[in-house]
Amino acid sequence: MQYRMIESEANAKYKRWKKLFESARFIKKEGATLAEGAHLIITMRQKGVKPEALLLREGGVSDEVAEIIEDFANDGVPCYVLANALYDKISPVEHGAGIMAEIKIMANELPHKERCDVLYLDGVQDPGNVGTLIRTAVAAGVSTIAASRESASLWSPKALRAAMGAHFSARLYENVEPEDLDAAFDAVCLAADARGGSDIYETADWEKTATVWMMGAEGPGLSEKALAVADRRLYIPIESGCESLNVGAAAAVCLFEQKRRRIAFKSLK
Amino acid sequence: MQYRMIESEANAKYKRWKKLFESARFIKKEGATLAEGAHLIITMRQKGVKPEALLLREGGVSDEVAEIIEDFANDGVPCYVLANALYDKISPVEHGAGIMAEIKIMANELPHKERCDVLYLDGVQDPGNVGTLIRTAVAAGVSTIAASRESASLWSPKALRAAMGAHFSARLYENVEPEDLDAAFDAVCLAADARGGSDIYETADWEKTATVWMMGAEGPGLSEKALAVADRRLYIPIESGCESLNVGAAAAVCLFEQKRRRIAFKSLK
């Protein structure tokens, strides 16, 4: 197996990776991003996703990962070894695993009136929250995720890291405005809204059709534009004195309540 | 109102705050921590928590916060204005609100066989996850939170920030080992365990008594010590191909399923 060593920040490939690490806009422009960590690399192999390149930290990697690198290298994936200081500057975690992959992002065209469950992110700002939301949705059986223009990139290295490989089991759509949802999906739009509507547990039958669960930004919650297209507003009953849940926790409650009801309905049949 | 300006990193007070920011051990030793952001300061006033000191960024604060500062200052809380560079070095967020408080941490003695619902953190590592877990627990009506020695500090600035004020509505216990739980709480120990046990939705009656929900570390999950004291092991049914949920999402699902069942039971009576 052949490695190419990169020791200078002036290296053209390195400069491009650094821009991918720093700029969501550049990710979009290039249609490429960085996925860090042994877990993501292992998931990629399982899902048949072939990276454009592997980036290794000079310090070395675990045996488990070495085997996968070997596999990918035999498959023609170029491998680069980066000086520690260079690697750490483009790693989304402080004590990273010492391996990352450059991958193509999968840009999807919105469907037309497709009947499927969707999670919609309306201006969610934090890349870690975005990743956790994708992970939770896929685990709850909702593998279609759409996000508004104001949301953080679904494909940032931090979001990939937090989603723990769920990206490779999902269909992701970016730059989707609330008013696009109706044409794209044959599903009721449910607004998760701490400010009002009806109690998610006391309200019957919202899970009986396909749903688009809409989750708002940390702090302000759902935008007026999103509330305007909602078929229903539902809230999670929380203790008085607390104002709201973290968006990741709220989505987990809503999407697993949906899953619970669907399971209960199936077992009745 | 009188402010004291701090411009040098060599200032003794500043050096102490920097250590509080950097070291969970120092937080424990001093019995003090830093709480950042307008929201936390406002919650403190609502809950009657009086800070030891207020730290303001030279750049200024919003009008809303200015009023609260005035109130606390009149109440004898010393106010310090920090040069921007100094402030940013001890702020848990990149674009902070420009205000933080030094507060005493509330160290509690474990009760004896108290009947109450508890969330137990068994080695949860990430301070942001710790904070989100506290926030979620309090919102779900579980205001007693205990954590093992291996868990990240419940009182780190990042945990305070992520909990959005929930600390001030909770009773928190640190350095609690799994084998201490039985003597402290009259409640069944429920292990949230992705690796086995029974389905949380299909298993009846686990919510009928007080519960200690045990959540494990990111990655490895619950320790052998924790599993050994569990009365029941429960798992959240997730889609095949996903291996687990983020610990914050898993806790949200478990604690709100508990809340849902309790509400449903009450409405039957």
| Residues A247 and A128 placed together within one structural domain of the fold | yes
The contacts of residue B63 (CB under 8 Å, 6+ apart) are none
**How many Å lie between the alpha carbon of A243 and the closest alpha carbon of chain B?**
8
Closest alpha carbon within chain B to A131: B246
Residue B166 falls within a domain, yes or no?
yes
| Residues of the domain holding A158 | 118-268
Banded pLDDT at B1 (limits 50, 70, 90): low
Residue A109 falls within a domain, yes or no?
no
Residue A111 falls within a domain, yes or no?
no
Contacts of residue B242 in chain A, CB cutoff 8 Å?
135, 138-139, 166, 169
The domain boundary, picked from B80, B104, B128, lies at B104
pLDDT (0 to 100) of residue A166: 96
| Residues B40 and B161 placed together within one structural domain of the fold | no
pLDDT (average), residues A39-58 = 92
A172-186 pLDDT, tens per residue? 999 999 999 999 999
Banded pLDDT at A64 (limits 50, 70, 90): confident
Which range in A49-58, A59-68, A95-104 is most confidently predicted, on average pLDDT?
A49-58
Q: Could you tell me if B107 and B82 are in contact, meaning their C-beta atoms sit under 8 angstroms apart?
A: no
Closest alpha carbon within chain A to B255: A253
| Residues B255 and B155 placed together within one structural domain of the fold | yes
| pLDDT of B35 higher than 80 | yes
| pLDDT of B42 higher than 80 | yes
Considering CB atoms only, which of A138, A201, A246 is closest to B242?
A138
Considering CB atoms only, which of B132, B253, B263 is closest to A256?
B253
Q: For residue B254, what is the domain's CATH number?
A: 3.40.1280.10
Considering CB atoms only, which of A132, A241, A249 is closest to B136?
A249
| Residues A238 and A188 placed together within one structural domain of the fold | yes
3-class secondary-structure state, position A121: strand
**How many Å lie between the alpha carbon of A182 and the closest alpha carbon of chain B?**
26
- Two structure tokens written together for A15: 């400069």
Residue B192 CA to residue B181 CA, distance in Å, equals 16
Separation in Å, CA A174 to CA A17, A110, A123, A186, B75: 21, 9, 11, 19, 50
How many Cβ atoms are within 10 Å of B104's Cβ, its own excluded? 14
Contacts 24+ apart (CB under 8 A), B239-244: B239/A138, B239/A139, B239/A140, B239/A141, B239/A143, B241/A169, B242/A135, B242/A138, B242/A139, B242/A166, B242/A169, B243/A164, B243/B194, B244/A139, B244/B194
The domain boundary, picked from A104, A126, A143, lies at A104
B252 with A257: Cβ contact below 8 A: no
| Residues B97 and B122 placed together within one structural domain of the fold | no
Burial letters for B50-69: b for 16+ Cβ neighbours within 10 Å, e otherwise? ebebbbbbeeebeeebeebb
B263 with A237: Cβ contact below 8 A: yes
At position B143, the amino acid (one-letter code) is: S
Q: Could you tell me if A209 and B105 are in contact, meaning their C-beta atoms sit under 8 angstroms apart?
A: no
pLDDT (0 to 100) of residue B68: 86
**What is the arrangement of strands in the sheet containing B32-36, beginning at the earlier edge strand?**
B3-6, B79-82, B53-57, B99-104, B32-36
Residue A67 falls within a domain, yes or no?
yes
A196-235 pLDDT, tens per residue? 899 999 999 999 999 999 999 988 899 999 999 999 999 9
Residue A20 falls within a domain, yes or no?
yes
Q: Residue A192, exposed/middle/buried by CB under 10 A (0-12, 13-18, 19+)?
A: buried
Contacts of residue A40 in chain B, CB cutoff 8 Å?
none
pLDDT (0 to 100) of residue A1: 60
Domain count of the fold of chain B = 2
pLDDT (average), residues A15-41 = 94
Average pLDDT of chain A, as a whole number: 93
Chain A residues whose C-beta is within 8 A of a chain B C-beta are 128, 132, 135-136, 138-141, 143, 162, 164, 166, 169, 201, 236-239, 241-246, 248-253, 256-257, 259-260, 263-264
Which range in A88-102, B29-43, B66-80, B248-262 is most confidently predicted, on average pLDDT?
B248-262
Q: Could you tell me if A52 and A26 are in contact, meaning their C-beta atoms sit under 8 angstroms apart?
A: no
Considering CB atoms only, which of B166, B237, B239 is closest to A242?
B166
- The dihedral over CA atoms of B172, B176, B179, B182, expressed in degrees to the nearest 10, equals -20
pLDDT (0 to 100) of residue B244: 87
Beta bridge partners of B189: B212
pLDDT (0 to 100) of residue B56: 93
Considering CB atoms only, which of B132, B143, B259 is closest to A249?
B132
- Two structure tokens written together for B89: 């070095």
Q: pLDDT: is A266 or B91 the higher one?
A: B91
Contacts of residue B268 in chain A, CB cutoff 8 Å?
none
**pTM (two decimals):** 0.94
pLDDT (average), residues B147-161 = 96
Beta bridge partners of B198: B234
| Residues B21 and B63 placed together within one structural domain of the fold | yes
Nearest to B56 by CA among B43, B48, B68: B68
Banded pLDDT at A244 (limits 50, 70, 90): confident
Contacts of residue A244 in chain B, CB cutoff 8 Å?
139, 164
Residue A186 falls within a domain, yes or no?
yes
pLDDT (0 to 100) of residue B9: 95
Beta bridge partners of A167: none
Contacts of residue A242 in chain B, CB cutoff 8 Å?
135, 138-139, 166, 169
Nearest to A234 by CA among A266, A259, A257: A257
Considering CB atoms only, which of B139, B242, B252 is closest to A239?
B139
pLDDT (0 to 100) of residue B239: 92
pLDDT (0 to 100) of residue B92: 78
| Residues A191 and A243 placed together within one structural domain of the fold | yes
Banded pLDDT at A108 (limits 50, 70, 90): confident
pLDDT (average), residues A13-40 = 94
Query: How many contacts does A have with B, using Cβ atoms within 8 A?
Result: 96
| Residues A126 and A162 placed together within one structural domain of the fold | yes
| Residues B233 and B207 placed together within one structural domain of the fold | yes
The DSSP string of A138-178 is: HHTT--EEEE-TTSPPTTSHHHHHHHTTGGGGSEEE-S--G
Q: pLDDT: is A66 or A127 the higher one?
A: A127
The domain boundary, picked from A71, A104, A137, lies at A104
Rg (CA), chain A: 20
Residue B111 falls within a domain, yes or no?
no
Banded pLDDT at B240 (limits 50, 70, 90): confident
ipTM of the shown complex:
0.93
| Residues A96 and A127 placed together within one structural domain of the fold | no
Q: pLDDT: is A55 or B95 the higher one?
A: A55
Which range in A75-79, A117-121, B64-68 is most confidently predicted, on average pLDDT?
A117-121
Residue A113 falls within a domain, yes or no?
no
| Residues A142 and A68 placed together within one structural domain of the fold | no
Q: Computed from CA positions of residues A160, A166, A169, A170, in that sequence, does the dihedral angle turn out positive or negative?
A: negative
| Residues A172 and A261 placed together within one structural domain of the fold | yes
DSSP assignment letter at B165: T
Nearest to A87 by CA among A65, A61, A64, A50: A61
Nearest to A99 by CA among A60, A156, A155: A60
Percent of chain A with pLDDT over 70: 98
End-to-end CA distance of chain A: 56
Q: pLDDT: is B264 or A99 the higher one?
A: A99
Q: For residue B94, what is the domain's CATH number?
A: 3.30.1330.30
Banded pLDDT at A152 (limits 50, 70, 90): very high
